[in-house]
Amino acid sequence: MSTAPVAKVSKKIPELQHRNFRDDEFWKKIPAWASVTRDQFGDHLWQLKNSIRKVDQVKKVLGNLVSDEIVKDIEEGQKITPMNIRITPYIFALIDWKDPINDPLRKQFLPLGSQFLPDHPYYKEDSLHEDEDSPVPMLTHRYPDKVLFLPTTLCPVYCSYCTRSRLIGGSTEAVEKESYGANQKNWDKVFDYIAKNPLIEDVVISGGDSYMLTPDQIRYIGESLLKIPHIRRIRYATKGIAIFPMKITSDEAWFQALKDVHAFGRSFGKQVVIHTHFSSPKEITKWSVLAMDKLFQEGFIVRNQAVLQTGVNDSVDEMVLLIRQLSYMNIQPYYVYLHDMVPGCEHFRTTLKEAEELEKAMRGTTAGFNTPTFVCDLPGGGGKRHVASYEYYDEENGISIWTAPYVKPGAVFAYFDPIHKLSPEAQERWKDPKVYEKMIEDAKNHVIQKLGK
Ligand code: SF4
């Protein structure tokens, strides 16, 4: 039997808690920012200038609010994690520095050396095969009518759980990367490829993060894509609204560029949408509401994609609160992803069973269109599949087998639960490659026979 906990319900959320948006001057608890005014804190340039980029700054800004032990642990984390440090003051000040070990925001952006676990034997730097499915640099073309365009490798924060840690944010002590910033050299080749492939209707502009594109780049990309006759939808992907709402509320030049592209799209009858990335209700404050009100008043559709992470949002209460707050702010909770099998993330990953149970518990807590679909983005490039749509699940050994009949006909894909969440007997089996290779082969054969291949 698996020892994995399922659908943790810790407490009942008061009915209207999701309408209480934090509006205090929380940053003033940070010693270095005690005299920062609301206007300064709300200025996007102040946020950028004071972003935390190094461990030294953590100590400098927090002073006695953080113990030497935690600082040392963060330093140790930097020797292991594939991601550099970058945190906006907004998120840094929302961390509960009285209990940093358990804080969901600290966990996402400032990994501790003590929390890391060995990577799963089947982890991959490019778990989703985005590079293999790339016909031209910076573009992934997997689904017939949709492409993923990665014009930048820069982000306003660097997340410990990033699925593109192989590219994003520059080299670290642990990993050499070929990050390319916002290099425009290949963009025209991308537009050319899209123009020559008339089946493509939908472009996700991600990265990296669209927040790091200049107003001119936002316009150039948006207009170039929208002018292609068969393109019907573009989506700017940004974690920005969650971790840096001040850019929406105070960077007028950037917001104007976004509005211009939106208006340009509408004039052609085409969609310009924003996809964002809240994972914890602790990221949400009155600043988020102000940013969303501004976007909503301009007619933007905003959807959210969260990543399921242990100790961040894997309880029913946290997830229900997140979904209700997003819905209240006019953000559609679209997807919750099972964590990808990328390096340095084993401590974050949940089992497939946990994801299934969480979705079951969530369903019915709000309107169907505001209930996110829980998906597994299949390692090996099978695309996103609903968490309950596997062909076979050996829960004891944490092996699930999937197919993606339209995306990769005839192929079978495997996703693996984190080993530390399996029973002691199963953990033993995962120590011997001959044993676990046989388990995987048996699981795949079970599906191949079932499907009559
Ligand atoms: S914002 Fe997105 S692309 Fe950037 S580090 Fe976080 S998860 Fe990765």
pLDDT value, residue 185: 80
Please work out, in degrees rounded to the nearest 5, the angle formed at the alpha carbon of residue 321 by the alpha carbons of 317 and 324.
140
Take atom 5 of ligand 1 and give the residue whose Cα is closest: 158
Q: Which residues pair with 307 in a beta bridge?
A: 337
CA distance 396 to 386: 21
Helix axis angle, 252-267 relative to 215-226, nearest 10°? 10
Task: Give yes or no: residues 252 and 348 share one domain.
Answer: yes
Instruction: Work out the pLDDT band at 11, boundaries 50, 70, 90.
Output: low
- What's the mean pLDDT in 115-138? 91
Counting atoms of ligand 1 from 1, which one is nearest the CA of 161? 7
Ligand 1 geometric centre to CA of 351 (Å): 22
Task: Give yes or no: residues 394 and 338 share one domain.
Answer: no
Instruction: Work out the pLDDT band at 8, boundaries 50, 70, 90.
Output: low
CATH of the domain at 187: 3.20.20.70
Counting atoms of ligand 1 from 1, which one is nearest the CA of 207? 3
Task: Give yes or no: residues 199 and 336 share one domain.
Answer: yes
- Give the sheet arrangement for strand 233-237, strand by strand: 139-141, 146-149, 202-205, 233-237, 271-276, 302-307, 331-337, 373-378, 383-386
Q: Is 318 exposed, middle or buried (0-12, 13-18, 19+ CB in 10 A)?
A: buried
Ligand 1 geometric centre to CA of 280 (Å): 15
Task: Give yes or no: residues 267 and 344 share one domain.
Answer: yes
140: DSSP letter? E
**pTM strictly above 0.85:** yes
Task: Give yes or no: residues 338 and 438 share one domain.
Answer: no
Ligand 1 geometric centre to CA of 290 (Å): 23
Task: Give yes or no: residues 270 and 351 share one domain.
Answer: yes
Task: Give yes or no: residues 451 and 320 share one domain.
Answer: no
Question: Of 364, 388, 412, which closes a domain?
Answer: 388
Q: Which residue has the higher pLDDT, 126 or 346?
A: 346
Q: Inform me whether the pLDDT recorded for 10 exceeds 80.
A: no
Question: Of 341, 366, 388, which closes a domain?
Answer: 388
pLDDT digits (tens, 9 = 90+) for 165-208: 888 888 888 888 777 777 788 899 999 999 999 999 999 999 88
Question: Of 367, 388, 409, which closes a domain?
Answer: 388
159, 206, 307: residue to mutate for ligand 1 pocket, most atoms within 8 A of CB: 159
Question: Any alpha helices (H) in 89-150, and if so which ranges?
Answer: 89-94, 104-109
pLDDT digits (tens, 9 = 90+) for 240-267: 999 999 999 999 999 999 999 999 999 9
Q: Which two tokens stand for residue 218?
A: 């936002």
Task: Give yes or no: residues 412 and 340 share one domain.
Answer: no
88, 126, 152, 209: residue to mutate for ligand 1 pocket, most atoms within 8 A of CB: 209
Task: Give yes or no: residues 65 and 204 share one domain.
Answer: yes
Task: Give yes or no: residues 328 and 407 share one domain.
Answer: no
The domain tally of the chain equals 2
| Structural domain of 442 | 390-453
Task: Give yes or no: residues 121 and 208 share one domain.
Answer: yes
CA distance 400 to 439: 11
pLDDT digits (tens, 9 = 90+) for 349-401: 999 999 999 999 999 889 999 999 999 999 999 999 999 999 999 999 999 99
168, 210, 278: residue to mutate for ligand 1 pocket, most atoms within 8 A of CB: 168
Average pLDDT, the chain: 94
Ligand 1 geometric centre to CA of 229 (Å): 30
pLDDT value, residue 224: 98
Three-state secondary structure along 419-440?
HHHCCHHHHHHCCCHHHHHHHH
- What's the mean pLDDT in 64-69? 96
Task: Give yes or no: residues 333 and 451 share one domain.
Answer: no
Ligand 1 geometric centre to CA of 440 (Å): 31
Contact call for residues 449 and 390 (beta carbons, < 8 A): no
